Each structure stands twice: as structure tokens, then as C-alpha cells.
Amino acid sequence: MKLTHSLAALWVGIAAFSAVSQLRAVGADTPFTTLEAEAGSLSGGAKIHAFILGSPVPTSPIAELESSGGAFVKLARTGDAITWKNPMDGANAIVVRSSLPDTPDGGGITGTLNLYVDGAFRQAVTLSSKQSWVYRKPGIWSDDPHSGGVAFKFYNEDPTFITGAPISRGSLIMLRKDTDSTASEYNLDCIDLEAVAAPAAQPAGSLSVLDYGARPDTETDSQEAISRCIADAATKGMSVWLPAGRYLVGSMVSGGIAIKGVTVRGAGMWHTTLYRRPPVATANSPKLWRTYIQLGAHSTVSDLSIDCNSVRRAIGKPGGGDYSILASGEGWLVDRVWARHCDAVWLSGSDGIIRNSRVSDSWGDGINLNNGNTPHPDRLGHYLTAENNFVRGTGDDGLATYSDRGKDGTNGQMIGASFLNNTAVAPYWANSLRVAGGSEVVVRGNLLTDPAANSGMNIGIFGNSGQPIESALIEHNVIRRGGGWNGTDRHGVVFASRPDQASVVTFRDNSIEDSRRSGLTIAATLHKLIIENNRISHPAASGILIEKGVSGTVCVQGNQVTGLAPDELLLNNKSPSTLAVWQLASPRKSYRK
């Protein structure tokens, strides 16, 4: 090994490697196909609105930054339309991600766009802004445009079944603003097309919630009936069955549903919904109104969706969403669950798995693996895994692991948190993925794109109460268009730490593409990093930025930086006297998962 502080030696470590390792397939394998609005064929006066890479990043939210792909299409006049060629067989469901205007006094609107298949009218698709358009100032999220907050969360996702026969591959699908389209304008970000299977049949050995008085009509409060069914199933060693329908829970009874030692299964995430309707008005409302699903040890929840009428981030308070699921204990499983308009999927315990699930329009993190912010044996945060999940439009980090030591330092360190082949798209607040402390962390094969406010990936410690990153392996991820409006220190990937606790990370074989500022940034203060075989392409600023006040060691080998803008530096090292840079053939390190 050769120790050097020189800029030239680091450049050798970056440029000498002849080829970056081939990236593996990344992101979630989803049952749907996403089509960007800007990739469709436009007609009438439809226009693309895009953030141009290399342009100055705005200092406040804009719809372009909140969109997937950095662009949307505006339909503002009668006859404006977008047409796509259907790339899949048997599409019978669509999700439209759109932004409609707010009302002058808040509250949002609904409007319809007409859906055509091969030129023939199929149906009017209803879209809404009733759960978008939030106005934020420090510590406050309001749906009142007169509150003095800055507007953000422009988009909402609206899923619907397509009437008529399933749409064959190659057919033309069009959304058009017609004379009966009541909104003044529609900003379309993307659509998802899916071939949804019929509702599943009741499994053998299960108890149906209908036999306990639950009603899938959205109006009957079914929380107590579902809870009685769960308790009976636990006693009898059976599972719980939620037939297709929309079940109201938590409307009159505060406290949520507890699933302990049983399996709760629905007919499919498109067919069975647990819908929460805590009060929106502040008058005569309880101070805290908790409606999350409590998932305990050796329990499973699967094949359903969780939705809420919330209009702001305010956990347990009027108008706010609660966690969709709060998990603790050993050996729990979340499988094929779709959480919408809730706060985070908040997951602690040990040996728990969330997989094949979706999160959209959340008020907090999409999926958060954590140690419960408490020294509790059921919330250790040991070997938790998020695999093959898709999150989009989150109000905090899309994916996050958070190891908290507490103000008294009594919380244990998380061990073995893993994010494997997930997709996180367009968080309107925070990062696409955040690693905040932990030991034996693994982040592999994830697709992380379009954070509106912060970075594509943030790796470090959370505030003053976070645990350090004692060891993390981050490999084979793709990070696109990182670096948002919330400060000038937001980039494609950011490493951060504190002077008393080094971040110990191996970062290898990743692709950082089209960053809105620097590609990879090492920020203050103390680090022990191995950075090898990564590819940084077309950053708007420096390929690699080392900020002032950085100390520790960085070992580099075989990285590539291409497509630099004129006058930008491949490496901008502002800590040449305090950061030791090593060249070496880095060891390959593996963890349990």
C-alpha cells in the first residue's frame, strides 16, 4: 500500500481501471409496467415540462423535480392528449400519477380524463388533488395555502380498473382532456399498466372476517369485528381471511389493529383494502388518533392494501396519517401489501421481512427498518430485510434504515439491515435511500431515482442521537438524478458522519448517473471508506467532491468519471491535508445477507 495526500494519486486510482464492473439487474421486479408521460406521443397542445440537467437547481419545490424522470406533460386545452403503445399482454388496470390544481382555500379537486383504446372510448378516469398540495414551513405541514408554507407534494396516484376487455399488447392507449374534463389543467407524470389477477379464493384453514360482522362497504366500522376474528384465529391456530372489499377501520375506535401470532391475508392488493378515516377537522377530535396495524412476532400480513383519508403529515393528529404498519418482535412478514396515503411502513424487531410490496403518496418514509428508538427486546433491529419493493412519492426517505442510540445512549446497535433489489422513485422530501447507522448493513441492487429535495443516497449518522455505521456494504445500485432543492449540499450520493464516530463503508460497483450537482460527495467529518469500481456519468458539478473538514481514510480503486460538464472537476478535494487517500486492491467483503 502507498499512502498519499495528493490529488494526482487519487486520480490514478480513479482513471487507471480500464472498465467498470458490469452492473447486475437492479430494482424491483414489479407486476406492472411504468410508462413516462414524456415518452408518449403528444397531440393537441400537450407540452413537456422538464428540468434540464445542468441547469441551476431551484431553491424551492417545483413539479418537474417531483416527477419521475424529471419531466411531466401538461394537458391544458381541450383535445390535449398523450398516447402510448401498450407493452404488455392483458392490461386491465391503470395507475395515473398526476397533479391537478388545488383550490384557492385548499382541499383539492377531482377531475376526469377520458381513456381511449385504439381510438375507442373506454371510460372517464377520475383523478384527484384532495391528498396533494401540502404547504410546508419548519415543523408544520398544512393543507391551507394561506398558512405561509411553501407548496410541495404536487402529485397523487389514482388506481382504477379498466372497463371492457383486457388490452392486448401493441394497442394504443390514450388519455385526453375532453370537454367534460372539469379540471383546468392536468400535469401527468406517468402511468402504470398491470394485468391484475382475479380475487383470490379463501384459503383452507382460515376464518373470514365477514362471519364476525365486518362489512366491505367503506362505511361500516369493521375494526372491532376484524380484531375479534384475529383473536379467535390465534386461539384456534387458524389464519384470517379478508375477502375482496373496502373495510373501514379506525373510524370510531382509536388504537389500530393488532396482529399477533397469526396470518392475515386479503384477496389481493387491488381487491382488499383496509381504509382508515381518522377525523380531518380539529374540533372535538382526540389529541392522538392512532390507527396503524401492529404486526407482532411470528405474524404475517399479505395481499391487501392500506389506505387513509389523511391530508397532511401529522401522526395521530386530526387530518394526519399514521404508520401503515408498525412491526416488532421476531419473524414477522409483510408480503404483497400496498400502503397509500399513510406515514411510514415502520419496521423493527428481528428477522423480519417486507417483500413484493408497494408504497405510494406517503407522508413519511416509504419503508423504514429501525430499532424502534427504544432499548426494547422486541425492537432490536436485527437482520431486517426489505426486498423487491417499489416506493414512489414519499414524504421522507423512500427507503431508510435508522439505528438510534437514544439521548441516553441506551439503545442497541442495529445489525444486518438489508435492502435488496428495491426501487425508490421521486420522494418529494428527503432522499431516495438513507443509511443512518448500523452494523453489517447491506444495500444491493436497488434503483434509486429522482429525489426532489435531497440526495439519491445518504450514508451516515442521523443527527446527534444516531448510531454510527460500523460496517456497510453498498454495491450494484443505480442512483439517478440525485441532488434536490433543499440546500446546496444535496448530490447523487453523500457520505456524512460526526467527528467522534467514523462511517465505515465499502461502496463498490455502483452507477451514479445524471446527478443534478456532484456525483459522489464526502462530507464532514470522519470516515473509513473503500470506494471501488463505481461509475459516475454526466454529473452537473464535480464527479467527486470532498468537502472541507473531512478526515479519516478513503481507499480508492478502479472508479470512472465520464461526461463532465465544461470547467467541472473530476475530483474537487477540499480536504487535502486532513484526509488520507490510499490506493489498493480492495478486499471483497460479504455479510450474512
Q: Give yes or no: residues 11 and 75 share one domain.
A: no
Give yes or no: residues 36 and 6 share one domain: no
Residue 25 has what pLDDT?
A: 85
Q: State the burial class of residue 138 (Cβ atoms within 10 Å of its Cβ: 0-12, 13-18, 19+).
A: exposed
H, E, C per residue of 16-53: CCCCCCCCCCCCCCCCEEEEEHHHCEEECCCEEEECCC
Q: What is the CATH number of the domain that holds 497?
A: 2.160.20
Q: How are strands ordered across the β-sheet holding 120-128?
A: 41-43, 81-85, 172-176, 110-117, 120-128
Indicate if 11 and 114 belong to the same structural domain: no
Whether residue 177 contacts residue 138, with contact meaning beta carbons closer than 8 Å, is answered with no
Residue at which a domain ends, from 171, 194, 217: 194
Inside any domain, residue 8: yes
Q: Is residue 463 part of a domain?
A: yes
* Domain-ending residue, one of 173, 194, 215: 194
User: Do 451 and 521 have their domain in common?
Assistant: yes
pTM for this prediction: 0.95
- Whole-number Å distance between alpha carbons of 483 and 455: 5
Q: Is residue 500 part of a domain?
A: yes
- Residue 412 neighbours by CB distance under 10 Å: 19
Whether residue 41 is found in the same domain as residue 17? no
Q: Are 167 and 91 in contact (CB under 8 A)?
A: yes
DSSP one-letter code for 335: E
For the chain, counts of helices (H) and of strands (E)? 3, 52
Q: Strands 186-194 and 71-75, how do they pair?
A: antiparallel
- Length of the chain equals 593
- Domain match, 502 and 549 both: yes
Q: Are residues 5 and 92 in the same domain?
A: no
Element (H, E) at 521: strand 520-522
| Total domain count, the chain | 2
On whether both 420 and 530 belong to a single domain, the answer is yes
Task: Tell me the CA distances in angstroms from 207 to 199, 201, 202, one per residue in order.
Answer: 17, 12, 9
Range of the domain at 76: 32-194
pLDDT of 475 reads 98
- What pLDDT does 8 receive? 37
Expressed in angstroms, the distance from the first to the final Cα of the chain is 30
CA dist., res. 402 & res. 411, Å (int): 12
pLDDT at 151: 98
6 and 155 assigned to the same domain: no
The Cα angle at residue 93 between residues 91 and 95, in degrees rounded to 5: 120
- Say how far apart CA 386 and CA 380 lie, in whole Å: 16
Q: Judge if 97 and 1 occupy the same domain.
A: no
Neighbour tally for 235: CB within 10 Å: 10
- Quick check: is 70 in a domain? yes
Cα–Cα nearest to 166, from 198, 127, 188: 198
Q: Among residues 265, 246, 245, 361, which one has the least CA distance to residue 311?
A: 361
Give domain status of residue 460, yes or no. yes
Same structural domain for residues 36 and 21? no
Distance CA 450, CA 245 (A): 34
Locus of grid cell 431508510: 400
Residue 556 forms part of a structural domain: yes
Looking at 163, 194, 225, which one is the last position of a domain? 194
DSSP per position, 108-168? --EEEEEEEETTEEEEEEEEE-TT--EEEETTEEES-TTSSPEEE---EEEEEEPPSSPBP
Classify residue 10: in a domain, yes or no.
Answer: yes
Q: What is the mean pLDDT of each run of 10 residues along the chain (593 residues)?
A: 34 37 77 98 98 97 98 98 98 98 97 98 98 93 94 98 98 98 97 98 98 96 96 98 95 83 98 88 64 96 97 88 96 98 98 98 98 94 98 98 91 97 98 98 98 98 92 98 97 94 96 98 95 97 95 93 93 92 52 41
Helix (H, G, I), strand (E, B) or coil at 320: strand
The per-residue pLDDT for 286 is 57
Both 446 and 591 in one domain: the answer is yes
- Given this model, what pLDDT does residue 1 score? 25
